[in-house]
Structure formats: C-alpha cells, structure tokens
Structure 1
Amino acid sequence: MIRRSLVLFQKAFAEPIYETPKKSQLKNMEAPASSSYSPRLFTLEERARRMQQAKKIDIPVLEDLDKQLATQQNQR
C-alpha cells in the first residue's frame, strides 16, 4: 500500500504543472520572430518522453501491487 501510494505520488509530481499566463503577462513574454526556440514545444517533447518511460514500467507494477494488497487483506 505504501509503495503504491509512493509510486502514484512520484508520478503526480514528475510532470511540471504550468499556470496559464494572463493576457498582460503574454504581451511581455512574446518572443521575437527571429527566435527559433519554443518553450512550449520543448515541454511537449519532454512530456511525451516521460510518458513513454512511464508506459514501460507502471501498469504491470501497479496490477501486481493491487493483487498483493488484495491477498493480504483476504488473509486477515
């Protein structure tokens, strides 16, 4: 139980949470047209990479933990 909640806690904080900027902030933040760097594209790529890594490990692990937890509760 503790391990599962720890895994879920880590997954919740693995992805950065972005606040949507207000219109007045957007005017100050606009990048010059010559700039090729796009922070939004970078964060989407980063998020996609993290999701790929998460798919490799998490689902069977969580199912195993659920089965272990169920058997422990049934034994009591």
Structure 2
Amino acid sequence: MQRPTDPTSRIDSHDDIALIGIGCRLPGGAGDPRALWKLLCDGVDAIRDIPADRWDPDRYYSPDPRTPGRVACRRAG
C-alpha cells in the first residue's frame, strides 16, 4: 500500500488497516471487546452507578443540567 504524501489527503476507503491494540473501560462487567459485543447482542442494560473510585458524583452532581461545572447524571454505561 502506498501512503499519500499529503497527510491531509483523503485515504481510499478500500485501503487495508490494522488494528494493533484496543484499550477501554467497558460497561456491564465486560472484560474485553468480545464480551462487550455479547452484552450488546443480548440487550443487557449496562447502565450503573458511577463507581466511587472514578469520581465523587455527590461533589459534581446537580439536577439542573444548566448548572456550570456540574453533571446532571449519577449513572453511566
């Protein structure tokens, strides 16, 4: 495959790509992308309370979504 000399030029959509790694936090207890796909296919509701070790929802929560510097949710997925 020949790379374009201009990095802003459009790459042909038929060019091969290689996925060499993936890293993410997955909802619903899925430990890897395959488990996430199964969770989605099975229609599992993966919305949970935000874990306390990520950030303190009590500190940042406001029921009014227009409040600056606050979030209007306590759950995520």
TM-score, normalised relative to structure 1: 0.19
Q: Which has a greater percent of helix?
A: 1
Higher strand proportion = 2
The normalised TM-score by structure 2 is: 0.19
